[in-house]
Amino acid sequence: MITSYIYALLGVVVVNLVSLVGVFTLSIKEETMRKYIFLLVSLAVGALLGDAFIHLIPEAFETSSNPLTVSLLVIAGLVVFFILEKFMHWHHHGDDTQEQDIHPVGKLVLLSDGVHNFIDGIIIGISFLVSVPLGIATTLAVILHEIPQEIGDFAVLLHAGYTRKRALWLNFLSALTAVLGTLVAFMLGEAGESFTNWVLPIAAGGFIYIAVADLIPELHKTKKINHSFFQLLALILGVVLMVGLVFLE
């Protein structure tokens, strides 16, 4: 059992390191990065929607005996993130500090990604408690799943107004919730799976809200035909990446 705990913690640490994928952009000039950020935001939209509709929601329906509950939890996720953004906008307009330059969508992405990583941590922990080979396979699946997700999240943080270094740091802190999730899985044991079934559709609702309510309206601000064409390609690529992961899980 101790071996399973050690392997699970090592696995979740590797997953956390994936959140630093944005470090490869540090050698690119800030001006150049922001010039093409619309492509990465488009990729994020595809990845968020693909993750929600191809992975999270089907998984929630598969593990639940009550489809109505899953549907209501997805809607609850949408409503919760709507309320959160309302609160952040109120706080945003009443704040005279430098944080006023940061769009609330950045904080929403950090929150939703934190919840998602927490769930991943629980899944990794539970898998290693079943067997080490299953845990390793699950960890690899999570890593493959996280790479496009983290690239998209990093792009959204940049778009929200964070510097690259701060976006990297905040993305890494958000990823640390996976460690907390693994520790919770150790404490809950088999009950952890039941807990995950409730949180999964709520996270999906949050992803859908961010993609549809915050990011897609931003994409519509680009009027150039060639930019719009590449936006569409990047969005489709985000979805295709999530479809491809189905065959690797």
Q: What is the pLDDT of residues 72-112, one digit of tens each?
A: 999 998 998 888 777 766 555 445 444 556 677 778 888 87
Which residue has better confidence, 7 or 57? 57
Q: What is the pLDDT of residues 108-117, one digit of tens each?
A: 888 877 877 8
Identify the domain containing residue 210 by its residue range: 2-246
DSSP 204-231: HHHHHHIIIIIIHHHHTT---HHHHHHH
Single-letter residue type at 174: S
Total domains in the fold of the chain: 1
Helix, strand, coil % in the chain, rounded to nearest 5: 90, 0, 10
pTM: 0.66
Measured CA to CA, the distance from residue 10 to residue 124 in angstroms comes to 10
Residues in the chain: 249
Q: What is the pLDDT of residues 216-239, one digit of tens each?
A: 887 887 778 888 899 999 999 888
Q: Average pLDDT in the 191-201 region?
A: 73
Measured CA to CA, the distance from residue 197 to residue 249 in angstroms comes to 18
